[in-house]
Amino acid sequence: MKRNSSGISSAEQTPDASVIHRRKFLASLGLGVTAAAVLASCDKDDDNDNQAPAGFIDLGRGDVGILNYAFALEQLEAAFYTRVIASQYSGITPAEVALLTDIRDHEVAHREFFKTALGSNAIPGLEVNFAAIDFSSRTSVLNTAKAFEDLGVSAYNGAGKLIQSADYLLLAGKIVSVEARHAAYIRDLLSNGTFADNTAVDMNGLDLVKAPPAVLDVAKSFLVSKLWAGNLPTS
Amino acid sequence: MNIHKLITDIEKVDPEVYERLDSRRSAVSQFAKIGGKLALAAVPLALGGMFKKAYGQGNSTIVGVLNFALTLEYLEAEFYTRGAAAPALVPVGTPAVGAINTIRDHENQHVNFLKTAISSLGGTAVAKPTFDFTARGTFPTVFTNYDVFLAVAQTFEDTGVRAYKGQAGALISNNDVLTAALQIHSVEARHASHIRQMRQARNTGISIKPWITGKDTGGIGSNVQASYDGEEITTQAGVNILSFVSASAASESFDEPLSRSAVETIVAPFIV
């Protein structure tokens, strides 16, 4: 059905405020009264959602969309650390191997968790583009890791308010603090003491926060697959 | 389920239901998109979330949560302020001085931020309690023995992360407060990670990672076990994480919440 309120007949257009409110509300959903009846029966699809451009992967809407958004970021991180461990940079220490392997495993756990939880609603596996990363260089690898971890923290912090379900909000909370632990460790590997410096934490002691479009804008340079967030909630 | 009737019924007692729900319209239109049995099963859940968002917890509940958080921040702020000022505690001329000062400053910023947030919601900030950082004699050398100081710091940070996580759901109705709480939550996790690395660097023979493995206290012992109990779980939302990674990694990859009452029990010995 198209976005309109044509289902409201002129006879219904009384000045009663509550009716106007109801009409406005339903119209804002792209639904007239007839549409609401269809909605009530829950047996028909609504085709007025936004369509992803050709070649783009639609993350979806509502909580499913947010979970797919997280799934996409975890895919990116898991792929990155898998490469880091498979082709270790020169001069890597045994302690770094151990903890970077831990991080790889955490990101794999996150990725597989989302994939399993989303089931048939999951977006496909993403194709990554790590051409800009020199996996033999400690500086290149750790700077990329820092960017990914800070991005992950900012993404989960920004996604919290977009989540409807308290259960999913808690799950995001369980993951984001682990990403923050990673971020602090990676930052300290690059420069000890930068775990929460003023590039990550503001004057109120608050961490990074980014909305999905800003996060995806950073992520896209590491992805061949194209993600589309046009159906994600924005508030 | 007749959503139209449901909303009309609510309208009888709350004429502003449409305005309240309006900001949740993407969630409502989602129902129309999903088809079949899955949608039928999902609608009550999603509706519940939507109404929780629209009506949610009142300001008094939110102020209560923020005052709980403020008490924890008072605890941390005074702990680091006193630790940083204690003579011959944090090794002079090492990076530890800067790290402790950074964390101290953040905790004081959190105190001020929460006070402002509480008053902007029309609430009254609780007063700072009097603290006993020996926890009634459990840590008698907390400000004279650097390793004890770091052990207590680690416990405060890891507990703080769990405390904020446990309150996220109670803030779901207020986007601004929820987001700020999440931003504090991840800063506490950065602190926890760094304090753990500082303890590891002390070379005490105990392996301490930036993340929590199982319910391991990192050698601190039974005095702080309550801050780690429950961290060992390896099933998340019914998904067995052991299917993907080792038991250690499965527990490390998800931090667990603590209830307000559990946190209050943990910090009670530190409050006079």
Residue A235 lies in a domain: no
Residue A73 near residue A110 (C-beta atoms within 8 A): no
Q: Which residue of A has its CA nearest to B29?
A: A29
Average pLDDT score over residue span B97-107: 98
Average pLDDT score over residue span B8-37: 48
- A74 contacts: CB under 8 Å, gap ≥ 6: A107, A110, A111, A114
The secondary structure element, H or E, covering residue B128 is none
Interface check for B20 against chain A (CB to CB < 8 A): the answer is no
Any idea which of A125-139, B41-55, B117-131, B248-262 has the lowest mean pLDDT? B41-55
For residue A140, what is the domain's CATH number?
A: 1.20.1260.10
Sign of CA dihedral B20, B24, B29, B34: negative
Q: Do A112 and B244 touch (CB under 8 A)?
A: yes
Contacts with B52 from chain A: Cβ below 8 Å? 164, 166
Residue of A106, A108, A176 with shortest CB distance to B182 = A176
Token representation of residue B40: 């039928």
B24 and B93, same domain (yes or no): no
Give the angle subtended at the CA of A201 by the CAs of A189 and B126, to the nearest 5°. Answer: 130
Beta strand B239-240 pairing with B235-236 = antiparallel
Q: Do B30 and A177 touch (CB under 8 A)?
A: no
A19 and A77, same domain (yes or no): no
A69 and A131, same domain (yes or no): yes
71-90 of B, contacting A, C-beta below 8 A: none
Helix and strand counts by DSSP (H, E) for chain A: 7, 2
- Give residue-wise pLDDT tens across range B210-226: 999 999 999 999 999 99
A120 and A20, same domain (yes or no): no
Among residues of chain B, what percentage have pLDDT more than 70? 79
Query: Does residue B99 have a pLDDT over 50?
Result: yes
Range of the domain at B48: 3-54
Q: Do A22 and B11 touch (CB under 8 A)?
A: yes
Contacts with A43 from chain B: Cβ below 8 Å? 35
Residue of A178, A180, A195 with shortest CB distance to B254 = A178
Q: Do B29 and A31 touch (CB under 8 A)?
A: yes
Considering chain B, what is the average pLDDT of its residues?
Answer: 87
B15 and B101, same domain (yes or no): no
For residue B8, the model assigns a pLDDT of 54
Q: Write the DSSP string, A58-95.
A: E--SHHHHHHHHHHHHHHHHHHHHHHHHHSPPTT--HH
Cβ neighbour number for residue B155 with a 10 Å cutoff: 25
A70 and A124, same domain (yes or no): yes
Burial of B97-134, coded b for 16+ CB within 10 Å and e otherwise, reads eebbebbbbbbbbbbebbbebbeeeebebbeeeebebb
Contacts with A46 from chain B: Cβ below 8 Å? 29, 32-33
Taking 70 as the pLDDT cut, the residues of chain A under it are 1-48
Residue B15's pLDDT band (cuts 50, 70, 90) = low
Alpha-carbon gap, residue B70 to B81, rounded angstroms: 16
Alpha-carbon gap, residue B259 to B229, rounded angstroms: 12
A172 and A212, same domain (yes or no): yes
Q: Do A28 and B25 touch (CB under 8 A)?
A: yes
- 3-state DSSP assignment of residue A110: helix
Per the structure, the count of domains in chain A is 2
Q: How many residues comprise chain A?
A: 235
Average pLDDT score over residue span B64-76: 98
Query: Does residue B32 have a pLDDT over 80?
Result: no
Distance in Å from the first CA to the final CA of chain B: 53
B67 and B200, same domain (yes or no): yes
Q: Quick one: A30 exposed, middle or buried, by C-beta within 10 A (0-12, 13-18, 19+)?
A: buried
- B257 contacts: CB under 8 Å, gap ≥ 6: A170, A173, A174, B162, B165, B166, B168
A88 and A40, same domain (yes or no): no
Mutate to test the interface with A, among B12, B19, B29 (most CBs of A within 10 A): B29
Q: Do B252 and A178 touch (CB under 8 A)?
A: yes
Mutate to test the interface with A, among B45, B94, B183 (most CBs of A within 10 A): B183
B109 and B176, same domain (yes or no): yes
Question: Can you list the pairs that A127-133 forms with residues at least 24 positions away whose Cβ atoms lie under 8 Å?
Answer: A127/A223, A127/A224, A127/A225, A128/A75, A128/A76, A128/A79, A128/A80, A128/A222, A128/A223, A128/A224, A128/A225, A129/A221, A129/A222, A129/A223, A129/A224, A130/A79, A130/A80, A130/A83, A130/A222, A132/A221, A132/A222, A133/A80, A133/A83
Residue in the block written with tokens 């009716």:
A19
Average pLDDT score over residue span B158-182: 98
Residue A219 lies in a domain: yes
Range of the domain at A196: 56-228
Alpha-carbon gap, residue B186 to A234, rounded angstroms: 22
Distance from CA of B78 to the nearest CA of A (A): 16
Residue of B189, B236, B237 with shortest CB distance to A180 = B189
Q: Quick one: A108 exposed, middle or buried, by C-beta within 10 A (0-12, 13-18, 19+)?
A: buried
Contacts with A33 from chain B: Cβ below 8 Å? 4
Q: Which residue of B has its CA nearest to A16?
A: B15
Mutate to test the interface with B, among A59, A110, A206, A208 (most CBs of B within 10 A): A206
Q: Which residue has the higher pLDDT, A17 or B61?
A: B61
Residue in the block written with tokens 């001085």:
B97
For residue A193, the model assigns a pLDDT of 97
For residue B219, the model assigns a pLDDT of 95
Interface ipTM above 0.90? no
**Longest distance between any two alpha carbons in chain A, whole Å:** 79
Distance from CA of B9 to the nearest CA of A (A): 12
Give the angle subtended at the CA of A50 by the CAs of A115 and A8, to the nearest 5°. Answer: 125
A41 and A60, same domain (yes or no): no
B39 and B100, same domain (yes or no): no
B131 and B43, same domain (yes or no): no
For residue A217, the model assigns a pLDDT of 97
Residue of A43, A106, A169 with shortest CB distance to B169 = A169
43-72 of B, contacting A, C-beta below 8 A: 43, 45-46, 49-50, 52-53
Q: Do B211 and A106 touch (CB under 8 A)?
A: yes
For residue A2, the model assigns a pLDDT of 33
Q: Do A209 and B194 touch (CB under 8 A)?
A: no
Alpha-carbon gap, residue B172 to B49, rounded angstroms: 9
Distance from CA of B112 to the nearest CA of A (A): 8
Distance from CA of A195 to the nearest CA of B (A): 6
Residue B126 near residue B114 (C-beta atoms within 8 A): no
Q: Do A29 and B25 touch (CB under 8 A)?
A: yes
Residue of A106, A188, A206 with shortest CB distance to B187 = A206
Token representation of residue A227: 């993600």
A195 and A218, same domain (yes or no): yes
Residue ranges of the alpha helices (H) in A119-198?
Answer: 138-159, 166-190
DSSP summary character for residue A28? H
A41 and A65, same domain (yes or no): no
Among residues of chain B, what percentage have pLDDT more than 90? 76
Cα dihedral B135, B138, B143, B146 in deg (nearest 10): -130
Alpha-carbon gap, residue A32 to B226, rounded angstroms: 54
A43 and A146, same domain (yes or no): no
Alpha-carbon gap, residue A89 to A97, rounded angstroms: 10
- 3-state DSSP assignment of residue B239: strand
Distance from CA of B136 to the nearest CA of A (A): 30
Cα dihedral B146, B147, B153, B154 in deg (nearest 10): 160
Dihedral-angle region of residue A55 (phi above 0 means left; psi in -120 to 50 means alpha; beta otherwise): left
Alpha-carbon gap, residue B95 to A199, rounded angstroms: 18
